[in-house]
Structure 1
Amino acid sequence: MRIEARTPLDHGVDEALAWHERPGALVRLTPPGMARIEDPDAGGLEVGRRVAVRLGPPLLPTGLSPRWELRHASREDRGSGGTAVHSFVDSQVTGPFRTWRHQHEIAGTGSGSSEIRDRIDLELPGGIGETGGIGADEAAGIGGLPAREARRTIEGMLAFRGEQLRDDLAFHARHAGSPRLVVAIAGASGLIGTQLVALLRTGGHRVIRMVRGPAEGPDEISWDPERGELDPADLEGVDAVVNLAGRPISTRFTARAEREILTSRVHGGDLIARTLARMRGGSGAPDGPGILVQASAIGAYGAQRPGEVLTEDDAFGDDVLARVCEAWEASSAPAARAGVRVVHLRTGIVLSDGGGALLPQIPMFLAGVGGRLAAPDAVLSWITLDDMTRAYAHALGADDLEGPVNAVAPAPVTSRELARTLGRVLHRPSLVPVPGFGPALLLGKEGAKELVRADQDVDASRLLGSGFDPAHTELEQALRHVLRRPMV
């Protein structure tokens, strides 16, 4: 089987090649719901380098995730200047195919533009192709998928990669005039953190992970928010800190869980803020990181705000997550008083096939029993994982951005619209509303109310007014990118 694709770029061949050679490129090109990179810090296109991934969504245990190992088998550089061509080949060492050979070409097309050319030659298990042999349409593909489904999956992956590359190069071009930063990130291994590390590195920034255990190597520092341990010396030379750390909220809302959700955020936020303030001498002296971008959420407004358009000037709500967000944002006050530019990104409903609110819905829709989760007219303020990731990187470089900022797409939708659009993208019905007792059993009554049955029309004007240019502004376009489904 041969699969080919071409991706035109409004960027020169040298720029495209440099992006591919930086650590983080493979993470950005890999759909998070399709595979996990075993060594996300590795980069480069040198011959002999091996890359291994675990197939399947992040929630799948490692022991159940098939391992796929590829080797950079060859590289060729032809020509020079704006029409140079750089070619490299990946071949399978071990994995789901009988054979796999992927030739990538980064070709200059003159006038500051280039093109990515992909050609994949593969044999499915058993050597059966799409048209050869009895029952070819039922031949095993990736993980037992039919051959036609294997082709559709690979073509969707290539389309995702092409769109991702175009959007990331455009983002980096818009920020080309900003200085390259050294950024320390807490919560770097989470859904957003993994993508943010990769995005910053492909843009030429240096990233240092803040880890709970012993630091390994120069790009990690150790901290312990529960014990209040963070050595200011470890942050010397760091320009900015991004704080994404906190216990996941997609859990049953018990008294213990609510307490841990709160303390995991407040302890970490307070420790970082006090450390930055101490490094700056408490008087705005230019020592230590001068930027702190901290996660928050649109849950700050309270889950049920029907009929309102919510801006950053609106008051905090009075439910569990609203109180968490209020305390979390307040924890950064020592840094702000010391002259650190502090941004609180109030995250909307993040759309990704690798985690978040969308992931549990996909199997139900694929099984034909999908439907809306909330009241039909409840408003949902969403954002794709990639735009959320770029919003964090944007906040680092937007010198005039400060305080709370709503990180949502400019076009919220109703619960009915989300279900219908998701059904259309997946070619499945969307007629079965989820009974209220289902989410309540999993998340508790309060958790279901705040996580599943929210009604929040959140305004994105402040983020857009700071110069942020989202790649995904309409829900169907966003879902087709996230789920790798072509427009029809």
Structure 2
Amino acid sequence: MPTFHYETRLPFARQDVFTWYTRPGALTRLHPPFAGAVLEAPDDGIGVGASSTIGINPPGIMGTALAAAVGFADGMLPVRLRPWVRWVSAHTEYEPDRRFTDEMISGAASSWRHERVFEDTDDGGTVISETVDYRLPATSRLPGAVHEAVSRRFESELRRLFIHRQRQMAEDLAFHHDHGPLASQQQNQPGMIVAVTGATGMIGEQVCALLGGAGAEVRRLTRSAPVAADQIRWDPENGELDPEALREVDAVVHLAGHPLAARFTESHKQNVLDSRVRGTRLIAETLAALEREDHRGRALISGSAVGYYGATPQHRPAEVPELLTEDVAVGEDFLARVCREWEAATAPAEDAGVRVAMIRTGIVQSPSGGVLQQMLPLFAVGAGGPLGRDQWQPWISLDDIAGLIVHMVLDSGVSGPVNGVAPQPVRAREYAKTLGRVMRRPAVLPVPSFGPQLLLGAEGAEALAEADQRVSAARAESLGYRFRHPDLTTALRHVLGRDGRRR
């Protein structure tokens, strides 16, 4: 049976590292976005019998691109497509602070056993020694040379995953170490209780996982009937939310809203506006009433977007400078109006003494959603190119937008608007060149203007695909947030699994 070994060294105490593994959200944080999705994570840690289910994408950059294409088309098709293979595993061995093992129940391999052993290093850190014993289906009947080639290719994909996981683990532990929750949890001090709307979305899922790693208790707001103890039902369209469900909550992260990427018809625009304003007002008024009854310093971290500044210079007041900081005047187009009213809807909470902060999110980089998901298939087949030319694109990695939001939750000194963008914005042609270089594909075929217009309409294409916004990250940095991916190359290599050696 073939065996794969991987070793990770971390500058953190063994108990801290092991504790992080046992917390809700660890699997979501570790599973790479280029490799698939976590379908079901353990509810009660990693003890013997705990099980998880993940979706495994086809291998390589072409597999990631195929999954991206299916994900983009999914919302437009009458049937749901799934490019991944379902993988179910269960923990079979567990020794606190020392080791644990999981084995495949069903999946793409004939057998799979993954053991992790945690040991102290001489300098007070931790080394994790991982051993995977596996057997691939039908390989025993292959000629020896072919069998070895298949095993090498399989282990190359494993290494791609493990390199991502190593960096992710190190960055998450550094984040938590900076904010202090790991040590406080070990001393049996109660963690924060944080409610999250939009918890199943691309950003919300990572926010919940990162909060779980910080030792926070996460409660998810859902429009459906709750099926788990950590769910809270709400109905923003009808103004329904039980205040008692939020009474114990220390902070609410509000990310829910009607999807933006569609043709900008009048009905779509109204849905976009109403969903954001009504939901935010309901959350704000509920927190305000609770805070007046029981002043405990609650917080509301509410979504917003760089659309606040207007799509292009032509959609901004004349006095607004090119570099867009949080204190400049609001823009003059539809999305600027949405963001203005969206942020204004938090006023009842702020007036009642709730700490309120708004995250003006830029273009989030992930193969599981957004612009990168849409562009990956074209680049993968060599037909990629710039979406525009000289327009500034205020991007941010998925890990950094989640990290910045959680930083705003944990830091009681943060209030007001914060731009959720990376420190190094790029122009459209530079974005395309960088993506092509990371994927080792050409990036010379510009996207024709009628493409976005077919999907979004003329107004939608102008507001989203053709936007020109040079947005500053200076305030986020001044608040003490340390960006994991300050430059685009680093961000794309991480989310696409292109770190390490050539693949």
Using structure 2 for the length normalisation, give the TM-score.
0.88
Q: What's 1:356 paired with?
A: 370
Post-superposition, which runs of at least 4 consecutive aligned residues in structure 1 deviate over 6 A? none
Distance in structure 2 (CA, Å) of the matches to 1:129 and 1:449 = 57
Distance in structure 2 (CA, Å) of the matches to 1:405 and 1:215 = 32
Distance in structure 1 (CA, Å) of the matches to 2:375 and 2:122 = 45
What is the Cα-based RMSD across aligned positions, in Å? 2.2
Cα deviation for residue 76 of structure 1 reads: 4.6
Q: What's 2:217 paired with?
A: 206
2:159 is equivalent to residue 151 of structure 1: no
Q: Say which of 262, 275, 293 aligns to 1:251.
A: 262
1:130–1:136 CA contact under 8 A, matched in 2: no
1:316–1:326 CA contact under 8 A, matched in 2: yes
Q: What's 1:342 paired with?
A: 356
Bigger drift between 405-414 and 60-69 goes to: 60-69
2:164–2:499 CA contact under 8 A, matched in 1: no
Q: What's 2:101 paired with?
A: 89
1:384–1:478 CA contact under 8 A, matched in 2: yes
Cα deviation for residue 150 of structure 1 reads: 3.3
2:304–2:360 CA contact under 8 A, matched in 1: yes
2:140 is equivalent to residue 132 of structure 1: no
Distance in structure 2 (CA, Å) of the matches to 1:8 and 1:231 = 46
Distance in structure 2 (CA, Å) of the matches to 1:378 and 1:435 = 15
Q: Equivalent pairs: percent with the same residue?
A: 42
Distance in structure 1 (CA, Å) of the matches to 2:43 and 2:141 = 34
Distance in structure 2 (CA, Å) of the matches to 1:15 and 1:396 = 21
After superposition, the Cα gap between the structure-2 partners of 1:86 and 1:305, relative to the gap in structure 1 and judged at 3 Å, is farther
2:356–2:416 CA contact under 8 A, matched in 1: yes
Cα deviation for residue 129 of structure 1 reads: 10
Cα deviation for residue 439 of structure 1 reads: 1.1
Cα deviation for residue 48 of structure 1 reads: 2.7
Q: What's 1:54 paired with?
A: 55
Q: What's 1:298 paired with?
A: 306
Consecutive unaligned residues in structure 2, runs of 5 or more: 58-66, 75-79, 185-189, 315-320
1:328-353 Cα distance to aligned partner (Å, 9 max, x none)? 00111111111111000001111111
Q: Which has the higher helix share?
A: 2
2:253 is equivalent to residue 242 of structure 1: yes
Q: Which one-letter code corresponds to 2:102 in the other structure?
A: D
Distance in structure 1 (CA, Å) of the matches to 2:308 and 2:469 = 11
1:72–1:89 CA contact under 8 A, matched in 2: yes
Distance in structure 1 (CA, Å) of the matches to 2:142 and 2:347 = 61
Superposition pairs of residues 405-416 of structure 1, within 5 angstroms: 405-416=418-429
1:22–1:44 CA contact under 8 A, matched in 2: yes
1:1-47 Cα distance to aligned partner (Å, 9 max, x none)? 44322221110000000010111111110113422223236242222
Q: What's 1:120 paired with?
A: 132
Q: Say which of 170, 174, 177 aligns to 2:174.
A: 170
2:216 is equivalent to residue 215 of structure 1: no
1:197–1:207 CA contact under 8 A, matched in 2: yes
Cα deviation for residue 51 of structure 1 reads: 1.6
Cα deviation for residue 116 of structure 1 reads: 2.0
1:80-118 Cα distance to aligned partner (Å, 9 max, x none)? xxxxx7222222211111222222222221433102222
Q: Which one-letter code corresponds to 2:304 in the other structure?
A: S
> SS at the partner of 1:223?
strand
Q: Say which of 468, 474, 479 aligns to 1:455.
A: 468
Cα deviation for residue 71 of structure 1 reads: 2.1
Q: What's 2:35 paired with?
A: 34
Q: Which one-letter code corresponds to 1:38 in the other structure?
A: L
2:44–2:50 CA contact under 8 A, matched in 1: no
2:254–2:302 CA contact under 8 A, matched in 1: yes
2:119–2:126 CA contact under 8 A, matched in 1: yes
> SS at the partner of 1:327?
helix
> SS at the partner of 1:218?
coil
Q: What's 1:439 paired with?
A: 452
Cα deviation for residue 289 of structure 1 reads: 6.3
Q: Which has the higher contact order (CA 8 A, sep 6+)?
A: 2
After superposition, the Cα gap between the structure-2 partners of 1:394 and 1:200, relative to the gap in structure 1 and judged at 3 Å, is same
Distance in structure 2 (CA, Å) of the matches to 1:366 and 1:64 = 16
Using structure 1 for the length normalisation, give the TM-score.
0.91
1:232-269 Cα distance to aligned partner (Å, 9 max, x none)? 11111111111001011122211111111111110100
Q: What's 1:186 paired with?
A: 197
2:281 is equivalent to residue 270 of structure 1: yes
2:304–2:339 CA contact under 8 A, matched in 1: yes
Q: Which one-letter code corresponds to 1:66 in the other structure?
A: V
1:238–1:289 CA contact under 8 A, matched in 2: no
Consecutive unaligned residues in structure 1, runs of 5 or more: 78-84, 140-146
Q: What's 2:64 paired with?
A: none
Q: Which one-letter code corresponds to 2:121 in the other structure?
A: T
After superposition, the Cα gap between the structure-2 partners of 1:196 and 1:129, relative to the gap in structure 1 and judged at 3 Å, is farther
> SS at the partner of 1:440?
helix
Q: Which one-letter code corresponds to 2:86 in the other structure?
A: R
Q: Say which of 407, 415, 424 aligns to 1:402.
A: 415
> SS at the partner of 1:100?
strand
> SS at the partner of 2:322?
strand
Q: What's 2:381 paired with?
A: 367
2:89 is equivalent to residue 70 of structure 1: yes
Distance in structure 1 (CA, Å) of the matches to 2:44 and 2:454 = 44
Distance in structure 1 (CA, Å) of the matches to 2:83 and 2:493 = 27
Distance in structure 2 (CA, Å) of the matches to 1:382 and 1:240 = 26
